[in-house]
Amino acid sequence: MAKAEVIKIILQNIVGPKPKATLEPVEELKQTLSKYFSLPTLPVNSGRSAIYLILKAAGIGEGDEVLIQAYTCNSVPNPIIWTGAKPIYADINLDTLNVDVDDLKRKISSKTRAIILQHTLGRPGPIEEVMEIAKQMGLLLIEDCAHCFGAGYKGQKLGTFGDASILSFARGKVVSSISGGAVIVKNKKLLGKIELLVDALPPTPKSHLFKDFLNFFTWRGILRRVYFNPFAYQLIQALDKQNFFNPLYSSKELKGLKPSWHPAKLHPIFVKVALSELPKLEKQNSRRGEIAEKYYQKIKNRKFRLLPKHKGIYLRVVSFYEDPDKFFKKARRHKLWFGNWYNAPVFPKETYLKEMGYTLGSCPQAEAAASQTINLPNYPDMTDEQIDFAVDFINKYDEL
């Protein structure tokens, strides 16, 4: 989203005359999303809050287990832990970075109550197989659509298969309102309970909002320029380490603890940012697809293995490379910055695996993928020259 648009929205809401609206903004967002998915869709302040609320509504807690895949971020196991339940990790398929169905089956126990199916980085997960397992075993199926807003499978939108699904509008996601998320509810038995929980949510604390805005103006506003300016990147990294911005994953969450601002209502300003971003969804997803296609056509260096193509959306384009840390260092020297989602079985690397209930060695494929993951830049507003710059770097990598 353009910085100017966000400034306008903030000014309109804080200091300027309020634009006349026929609907409360959050009601408008709710209606827009519900129409898009043809299912009731309730905005909340984050994807992790959305997971938490679904689990709570389903009565999942102490003594229960919830199956998730490794090669994920701590925002998935955390809301499970916050309910008192235990996350159980299944390994992944190395060609898709999605869950390995056989391992998922092996991990089912008498305590399993739900499966969270992650559509990793925009690639549809094995939805038919997992739906069948959930049906046979009487498990709740939650689709994690944090990465795949706008993608479909066999003509049906992802997010409309499971009993309930979650969206994330955090920074770096398909649609970003700086912070935000939503619950999509298909299972009618859950709807009333989730509505009650969402209605009772407190507002997001103001101090938190301020830091979120700071974040936007640095990460979203400067990030693209930073690609070609390693000094600015270093400065932002240093400020981030000092907790100057709201980190995506707070220090509490690295240890499985629940911060006070999750769950909460989505702030009206973020609602408006989301509303102004939504109309761009399809155009931006198709541009991401075009960028991915260019990488597939142009990258010739065999040391970089791109995953097989897919029919979802390309939130990130992943390449495997044997030594990502060396690669990132060299890239920065050449004024390029590549992403690292997910360079740990439970991202980010600083996450305490023990507190996440993850045992090292338990999901070898996920660990292998994490140790080789590089994200190629694919922001929708990247220019073709910038794409070529990244491609050239990879193709000439060994000579540089």
Ligand X SMILES: Cc1ncc(COP(=O)(O)O)c(C=O)c1O
Peptide bond into 348 cis (omega under 30): yes
Give me the least distance between CB of 374 and ligand X, in Å please.
17
Closer residue to ligand X (CB): 336 or 370? 370
292-304 b/e with 16+ CB inside 10 Å = b?
bebbeeebeeeeb
Q: Which is nearer to ligand X, 87 or 304 (CB)?
A: 87
Active site includes 173?
Answer: yes
DSSP annotation string for 29-85: HHHHHHHHHTS-EEEES-HHHHHHHHHHHTT--TT-EEEEESSEETTTHHHHHHHT-
Q: Which residues bind ligand X (CB under 6 A)?
A: 46-48, 72-73, 75-76, 118, 144, 146-147, 168, 170, 181
Which residue among the candidates 173, 265, 272, 294 is catalytic per the annotation? 173
Question: Which amino acid is residue 336, in one-letter code?
Answer: L
**In this complex, which beta carbon is closest to ligand X, that of residue 162 or of residue 393?**
162
Minimum distance, C-beta of residue 385 to ligand X, in the bound complex (Å): 29
- For the record, the structure tokens of 20 come out as 């006349």
Compute the least distance from the CB of residue 348 to ligand X, in Å: 10
Q: How far is the CB of 297 from ligand X (least distance, A)?
A: 28
Nearer to ligand X, 97 or 291 (CB): 97
Residue 99 is given by DSSP the state B
Q: How far apart are CA 269 and CA 6, in angstroms?
A: 9
CB nearer to ligand X: pick between 99 and 336: 99
Q: Alpha-carbon distance 203 to 261, whole Å?
A: 8
Say if residues 243 and 12 touch (Cβ distance below 8 Å): no
- Least Å distance between CB 14 and ligand X? 23
| Cα-based torsion angle of the residue sequence 278, 282, 288, 289 in order, rounded to the nearest 10 degrees | 160
* Catalytic machinery residues: 173
